[in-house]
Amino acid sequence: MAGAGALRAIRWALVDHRGGPNVTSVQTGRVTPTAGPPQPVRARRKEALVSTAPIDPTGVPAWAGLREHAEQLEPDLRGWFAEDPGRAEELTLTAGDLHADLSKNLITSTTVNLLTELAEGVGLPERIAAMFRGDRINVTEDRAVLHTALRRPAGMQPALQIDDQDVNADVHHTLEQMYDFADQVRTGRWRGVTGKPVATVVNIGIGGSDLGPAMAYSALAPYVADGIEVRFLSNIDPADVAETTADLDPETTLFIVASKTFGTIETLTNARMARQWLWDELSARGQLASNNRARNRAVAKHFVAVSTALDRVAEFGIDTDNTFGFWDWVGGRYSVDSAVGLSLAIAIGPGNFADFLAGFHTIDEHFRTTELSRNLPVLMGLLNVWYVNFLGAESHAVLPYSQSLHRFPAYLQQLTMESNGKSLRWDGTPVTTATGEVFWGEPGTNGQHAFYQLIHQGTRLIPADFIAVATPAHPWQEGDVDVHSLFLANFFAQTKALAFGKTAEEVRAEGTDEAVVPARVFPGNRPTTSIMAPVLSPGVLGQLICLYEHITFTQGVIWGIDSFDQWGVELGKDLATQIEPAVNGDEEVLADQDASTRSLIRYYREHRL
Rounded-to-integer distance, Cα 214 and Cα 233, Å: 10
pLDDT for position 44: 57
What does the CA dihedral 333, 334, 338, 341 come to, rounded to 10 degrees? 50
Mean pLDDT of 510-528: 97
Is the pLDDT confidence value at 400 over 60? yes
One-letter-per-residue 3-state SS of 99-157:
EEECCCCCCCHHHHHHHHHHHHHCCHHHHHHHHHHCCCCECCCCECCCHHHHHCCCCCC
Instruction: Show the beta-strand stretches assigned E in 167-285.
Output: 200-204, 229-233, 253-258
pLDDT over threshold 70, residue 4: no
**Which residue in the list 418, 437, 442, 549 is annotated as catalytic?**
418
Q: What are phi and psi of 322, to 5 degrees?
A: -110, 40
Q: Is the pLDDT of residue 13 over 70?
A: no
Region 385-393 average pLDDT: 98
Task: Output the pLDDT for position 40.
Answer: 63
Residue-wise pLDDT tens digits, 488-497: 999 999 999 9
| Cis bond upstream, residue 111 (ω within 30) | no
For residue 607, pLDDT over 80 is answered with yes
So where are the chain's domains?
A: 4-146+372-559, 162-351, 567-607
435 or 11, which is more confident: 435
Distance separating alpha carbons of residues 399 and 531, to the nearest angstrom: 10
- At residue 39, does pLDDT exceed 90? no
Spatial separation of the C-alpha atoms in residues 225 and 32, rounded to whole Å: 40
Q: In the prediction, which pLDDT does 41 show?
A: 64
Q: Which of 449, 474, 570, 580 is catalytic?
A: 449
pLDDT at residue 229 is higher than 50: yes
Picking from 234, 314, 307, the residue whose alpha carbon sits closest to that of residue 274 is 234
Q: Is the pLDDT of residue 237 over 90?
A: yes
Q: Which fold has domain 4-146+372-559?
A: Rossmann fold (3.40.50)
Confidence (pLDDT) at 544: 98
Q: Mark 525-560 as b/e (b = at least 16 C-beta within 10 Å).
A: bbbbbbbbbeebbbbbbbbbbbbbbbbbbbbbbbbb
Closest by CA to 178, choosing from 364, 360, 347, 299, is 347
- What is the per-residue pLDDT for 1? 38
C-alpha span between 101 and 402 (Å, rounded): 18
Domain 162-351 has CATH 3.30.70.1290: no
Phi and psi torsions of 231, nearest 5°: -120, 160
The residues, ordered by sequence, that sit 6+ positions from 259 with a Cβ below 8 Å of its Cβ are 205, 209, 267, 268, 305, 306, 307, 309
For the question of residue 17 being annotated catalytic, the response is no
Going by the DSSP 8-state scheme, the letter that residue 438 receives in this structure is E
Percentage of the chain with pLDDT > 90?
90
Q: Does the annotation count 573 as an active-site position?
A: yes
pLDDT value of position 3: 41
Q: What number is the average pLDDT over the span 402-413? A: 98
User: Which residue did the predictor score with more confidence, 34 or 486?
Assistant: 486
Predicted pLDDT at 52 = 79
Question: What's the mean per-residue pLDDT of the chain?
Answer: 92
Lowest-pLDDT range of 3-7, 59-63, 358-362, 531-535: 3-7
Lowest mean pLDDT among 7-11, 167-171, 250-254, 512-516: 7-11
Position 25 scores a pLDDT of 28
Catalytic, out of 173, 176, 573, 580: 573
* Per-residue pLDDT, 163: 85
Secondary structure of 50-70 as H, E, C letters: HCCCCCCHHHCHHHHHHHHHH
- Which band of pLDDT confidence, cut at 50, 70 and 90, is reported for residue 150? very high
Active site residue 418: yes
User: Is there a shared CATH topology between the 4-146+372-559 domain and the 162-351 domain?
Assistant: yes
The span from the CA of 432 to the CA of 200, in Å, is 50
Q: How far apart are CA 93 and CA 533, in angstroms?
A: 12
Half-sphere exposure of 289 (CA within 13 A, CB side): 6
408 close to 127: Cβ distance less than 8 angstroms: no
Q: Report pLDDT digits (tens) over 94-128.
A: 999 999 999 999 999 999 999 999 999 999 999 99
Is the confidence at residue 559, as pLDDT, over 70?
Answer: yes
pLDDT > 60? residue 36: no
For residue 267, is pLDDT > 70?
yes
Max intra-chain CA distance, the chain: 82
Mean pLDDT of 525-545: 98
Tens digit of each residue's pLDDT (9 = 90 or more) over 467-477: 999 999 999 99
- Look at strands 165-166 and 160-162 and give their pairing: antiparallel
Q: In what order do the strands lie in the sheet with 253-258?
A: 229-233, 200-204, 253-258, 303-306, 323-324
Q: Would you state the pLDDT for residue 43?
A: 61
